[in-house]
Amino acid sequence: MRAALRSGRGGLSQAQWPDCSIPCYLGVLPAALETAVTAEMDSRNNRMIDLALAQDGFADAIGALQQQLDPGRLGLVMGTSTSSIDRTESGYRSLDAAGRFTSPFIQPRVHSPHAPGDFVAERLGIDGPCMTVSAACASSAKVFATAKRWLDQDLVDAVVVGGADSICLSIIYGFHSLQLVSPDPCRPFSPDRTGISLGEAAGFALLTRNDNATGIRLSGAGESCDAYHMSSAHPEGLGARLSIERALKDAGLATTDIDYVNLHGTGTRANDEIEGKVCAMFNNSRTVLSATKGWTGHTLGAAGIVEAVIAMDALCTGLLPGTMNTRQSEAPFHLLLDNLERPTRHVLSNSFGFGGNNCSLVFSVA
Amino acid sequence: MIIQLTGIGIWTRGLTHFSTLLENTGIDPHAEYVIPAPVAIPARERRRAGHFINLAVEVAHQACEMAGVDKRTIPSVFTSALADTEISDYMCRKLAQNEKLLSPTQFHNSVHNAASGYWSISAQNRAPSTFVGGFDRSFGAGLLEATSQVVAFGTPVLLVGYDLATRSPFHEMLPIDVSLGVAMVLTPAHYVVSSTSMLTIRMNIVPKSGSSDSTRPGAHPMQSGLDLAHQSAQLQRGLKQVSTLAIDTPRSGHLWIELSRESGK
C-alpha cells in the first residue's frame, strides 16, 4: 500500500463482477482468491483475511509476541459490516428442496456476524477476550476504541485489532437501491461528484500497553451516534462533530495540533457536504485533509482499519496521500488533491456509518 | 469489576416483562410468542423496523424504564448470534434471482447495528453505541464490552442481547427455537441510583481464560442473559442472598459472576 500511495497507483477498475449488471467501478482483489482456508471456514471474506495476515509478516510478529505473553492476555477485536455474507449469498443459490444449505455451504461458523473474529482467533491461536464489532462503516475504527478500554483496564496486555469486508451482491445492489453508486471512479469532495465506488479490504494492527513506546501511539478515540436517520447523516453533522470532539478531547489536542485528517469522504453529494461543514473546524494553517476512497473504494466495515493504517503510515513516512480522482475542491478547508510529503506528528481519521454510527481516531508519533 | 445491575428488560414466549419474574406469577407454558410492538417508537417507524429491531428496542426501553436512567445519554451495546436472519433471508433470496432489486429500507436495516440506530433515534441519544458478535457466546461478548464501557465512561451502560427464532437455512446452522430479547442497565458501583429503581444487584465480574463448561449444547445464544434475569429475580425476592454464574465468552474465556443483593437500599 505504501508503494502504491507513493507512486500514485489507485485500485479502482471497471466492475466485472459475476451476476452484477450495474455499471460501476470497484476496488477488488483478484476474483478467485487462492488461499488455504479450511472448508469449515471458507468464504471470500476469510480468504481475504488470510491474505492480509500474511502481509508484512503480521502473523509471524503475533506468533513471536505469543511466546512472551500469557495466552489469556492477548485479545482480539475484529470489525466488519458484511462479515461472510458473500458465502451466505452463494449458499442461497443452491438450497435444497427443504430450503437448507447444501455442501460446501453447511458452515455454521461462517454464516454469522462473528465469522471474521472467530476465523482470526483460530488462525492466530488467540485465547484472550475476542469479539467482532459490527457498526456498519464505523466498525473497524471502533475496534480501536474497544481495544483501548481493554488495555486501560488491564484486561489484556496486547490486542490484535482488524477489519475485513468483501465485495458481494448485497452491497452493490443495496447501495444501488439507495441510488448512491457512482458510474465513474468516485471523486470525494469534487463539486461534480456522483457517488461511491465500493471496495474490499482486510487490515490489522497490534496494540500494546507501553508508556515508553517508540513508534505510533493511539492517542484518542471518540464515538457517537447521530440519532437522526438510518442512512442519512444529520444535516448539520452533529454526531460527526461529537465523535471528532470526543477524540480530540481524549487525546488532549486541539484542531490546530492535527497535521493530517483522513476524511470519511465517500463521494456522495450529501455526506461530503455535511462532513465538509463539520471539518471546517480544521481550517487553519497547519492541517491538511484528504479522502482516500478514490484509491481504495469504500471498503465499508474495513474502511476504519484501512484509513487508520493510511493515517498511521503518514506518521512513519510523512507521505500524505492526495484525494485521487478529485481535481477541484469547494471544501471549506485545505483539501489535499495531490500527495504531499512533510513531517507529521498527529493525524485524525473519521469513519461514519449507517445507523448514524460515528468514530474518530487520533494517532500520534510516540 | 464490581458494578450494579439496575434495570432488566425481557421479551420472549410467555414472558414479556421482568415484573413477571419478580411477582412469580408463573410463566404460561402454553403461551404463544407475540411479536413486540414497542410504544417507544412511532407506528410508522415500527413497521419499517421489522421484528428483530422491534425486539431490541422493546427490551432496551423496558430496562431503561426500570433503571430510571436518562435514555438520551446512556451508551449502549447490542449483541446477537445471527443478527437479523429475516432480512438476511430476504436479501439473499432476492440476490439469487435474475431480477435483483432490493428495498432501500431493507438494505439499510440489514446493517447489524440497525437496532442501535432505531434505538438512538427514538431516544434522541448521541452517546457511543455498538454491536458486538460472538456467535453462540454473544451474550458473554456483549456483557464484557458493556462492563468495560461502564468502567471507561463512569456512567450506566445499556446492554441488549437478542436473537430471532431461526428457520432454514439458518436453523441448521444454529437452532434457535424461540425469539428472545434481554436487556440490562449496568451501573457503576458507587453510582447513586434513582429512588424509582426497583432492582440493585451487585455484580462482581471477573474475566477468566480457560473453559467454564457453562454452555449447554443447544442452548439459546441469549440463555445466559435469561439466567441472569432469573437469578436477579430470586435475589430481589429474597429467596437467595448470593448467586454465581459462569458466562462463556467467545473462544475459551468466560466471565465469572457473583450476584448479591445490595444491602441498605
- Contact across the interface for A354 and B100, Cβ inside 8 Å: no
Please give the pLDDT value at position B212: 66
Cβ pairs A/B, distance under 8 A: 232
* Distance set, CA A285 to CA A223, A256, A259 (Å): 27, 8, 10
CB atoms inside a 10 Å sphere around CB A319: 17
β-bridge partners, B116: none
Residue of chain B with shortest Cα separation from A150: B148
* Closest in B100, B129, B252 to A173, CB measured: B100
Handedness of CA A127, B260, B153, A153 (dihedral sign): negative
Mapped onto helix, strand or coil, the DSSP state of residue A255 is helix
pLDDT confidence tier of residue B265, bands split at 50, 70 and 90: very low
pLDDT of residue A147: 98
Which of A108, A118, A150 faces B250 most closely, judged by CB atoms?
A118
Question: Across the interface, which of A108, A130, A176 has its CB nearest the CB of B174?
Answer: A108
pLDDT digits (tens, 9 = 90+) for B45-80: 999 999 999 999 999 999 999 999 999 999 999 999
Q: pLDDT value at position B194?
A: 61
Provide, as residue numbers in chain B, all residues whose Cβ is less than 8 Å from the Cβ of A224.
126-128
Pick from A205, A224, A193: nearest CA to A293: A193
Question: d(Cα A88, Cα A106) in Å, to the nearest integer?
Answer: 10
CA dihedral A337, A341, A346, A351 (to 10 degrees): 30
Reported residue count of chain B is 265
pLDDT at B214 over 70: no
The predicted model gives B179-185 an average pLDDT of 98
Mean pLDDT computed over B130-145? 97
**Contact (Cβ atoms closer than 8 angstroms) between residue A191 and residue A174:** no
- By three-state DSSP, how is residue A264 classified? coil
Question: Domain-by-domain residue ranges, chain A?
Answer: 2-365
- Please answer yes or no on whether A227 and B128 come within 8 Å at the CB atom: no
**B24 Rama sector, left if φ>0, alpha if ψ -120 to 50, beta otherwise:** left
Chain A residues touching B110 at Cβ < 8 A? 170, 174
Q: Which residue is associated with the grid cell 448467586?
A: B243
Query: In chain B, what residues touch A176 (CB-CB under 8 Å)?
Result: 102
Q: What is the pairing mode between strands B129-133 and A319-320?
A: unpaired
Distance CA B63, CA B162 (A): 14
Q: Which residues of B touch A18 (CB under 8 A)?
A: none
Q: How far apart are CA A45 and CA B231, in angstroms?
A: 40
C-alpha span between B182 and B180 (Å, rounded): 7
**Higher pLDDT, residue B29 or A259:** A259
Which of residues B217 and A258 earns the better pLDDT score? A258
pLDDT of residue B251: 85
- Whether residue B166 contacts residue B85, with contact meaning beta carbons closer than 8 Å, is answered with yes
Helices then strands (H, E): number in chain A? 11, 14
| Per-position DSSP letters for A10-39, written without gaps between them | --EEE---TT-----EEE---SS------G
C-alpha A53/C-alpha A68 separation (Å) is 20
Point out which residues pair with A201 in neighbouring strands: A165
The active-site residue, picked from A298, A334, A346, A359, is A298
pLDDT at B263: 52
- Shortest Cα–Cα distance, A80 to chain B (Å): 10
Distance CA B17, CA B8 (A): 9
| Inter-chain residue contact A91 with B92, CB threshold 8 Å | yes
Interface test with A, best of B44, B89, B131, B160 (most A CBs within 10 A): B131
- Alpha helices of B196-246 — where are they, by DSSP H? 223-236
- Interface-testing mutation among A24, A114, A229, A298, with chain B (most B C-beta atoms within 10 A): A114
Residues in B closer than 8 angstroms to A239, CB to CB, are 126
Active-site residue, A298 included: yes
> Binning pLDDT at 50, 70 and 90, where does residue B215 land?
low
Residue A208 main-chain phi, psi, to 5 deg: -130, 160
Distance (Å) from the alpha carbon of A135 to chain B's nearest alpha carbon: 5
Bridge partners for B246 per DSSP: B256
Question: What is the three-class DSSP state of B146?
Answer: helix
| Active-site pick, A114, A234, A264, A346 | A264
Closest Cα of chain A to B28: distance in Å?
Answer: 32
CA distance B28 to B12: 12
| b (16+ CB within 10 A) / e for B66-82 | bbbbebeebbbbbbbbb
**Residue B171 neighbours by CB under 8 Å, 6+ apart:** none
β partners of residue B159 = B77, B184
- Per CB-CB distance under 8 Å, the chain A contacts of B83 are 112-113, 134
Rounded Cα distance between B16 and B36, Å, is 9
What angle separates helix B138-153 from helix B223-236, to the nearest 10 degrees?
60
Residue A41 DSSP code: G
Question: Would residue A346 show up in a list of annotated catalytic residues for this protein?
Answer: no
Cα angle B130-A123-A111, degrees, rounded to a multiple of 5? 55
Q: Mutation target for B interface from A143, A230, A361: give the one with most B CBs within 10 A.
A: A230
CATH number of A2-365: 3.40.47.10
Mutual orientation of helices A58-66 and A44-54 as an angle, nearest 10°? Answer: 70
Answer for the pair A320, A232: CB distance below 8 angstroms, yes or no: no
What distance in Å separates residue B18's CA from the closest CA in chain A? 27
d(CA B262, CA B19): 19
pLDDT score recorded for residue B143: 96
Q: Residue A46 corresponds to which amino acid?
A: N
Residues listed for chain A = 366
Statement: the pTM of the whole predicted model exceeds 0.90: yes
Tell whether the model's pLDDT for residue B198 goes beyond 60.
Answer: no
Q: End-to-end CA distance of chain A: give it in Å, rounded.
A: 23
* Cell numbers for A284: 487553519
Question: Is A114 tagged catalytic?
Answer: no
pLDDT tens string, chain A, 366 residues long: the values are 999 999 999 999 999 999 999 999 999 987 678 888 999 999 999 999 999 999 999 999 999 999 999 989 999 999 999 999 999 999 999 999 999 999 999 999 999 999 999 999 999 999 999 999 999 999 999 999 999 999 999 999 999 999 999 999 999 999 999 999 999 999 999 999 999 999 999 999 999 987 666 789 999 999 999 999 999 999 999 999 999 999 999 999 999 999 999 999 999 999 999 999 999 999 999 999 999 999 999 999 999 999 999 999 999 999 999 999 999 998 999 999 999 999 999 999 999 999 999 999 999 998
Which of A95, A227, A230 is nearest residue B108 as measured by Cβ atoms? A230
Contact B113 A136 (CB under 8 A): yes
User: Residue A92 and residue A81: Cα distance in Å, rounded?
Assistant: 19
Instruction: Say which residue, A211 or B135, is predicted with more confidence.
Output: B135
Residue B195 has pLDDT above 50, yes or no: no
How many helical (H) and strand (E) elements, i.e. helices and strands, does chain B have?
8, 8
> Exactly one of A130, A137, A168, A186 is catalytic; which is it?
A137
Phi, psi of B236 (to 5 degrees): -65, -35
DSSP A280: G
Q: E strands, A195-238, where?
A: 198-199, 201-208, 216-225
Beta bridge partners of B203: B3, B259
Residue given cell 435474475 in the structure block: B98
pLDDT at A281: 98
Q: Measured between alpha carbons, how far is B178 from B51 in angstroms, rounded to an integer?
A: 13
Provide the shortest C-alpha distance from residue A152 to chain B (in Å).
8
Cα–Cα distance for residue pair A206/A103, rounded to 1 Å = 36
Compute the nearest-CA separation of B20 from chain A (Å): 32
Closest CA relative to residue B132, chosen from A132, A142, A143: A132
**pLDDT (tens digit per residue) in B228-239:** 999 999 998 889
Q: Please, which residues have CB within 8 angstroms of residue B53's CB and are 6 or more apart in sequence?
A: B84, B109, B114, B115, B118
Which residues does chain A have within 8 Å of residue B173's beta carbon, measured at their own beta carbons?
Answer: 101, 106-108, 111-112
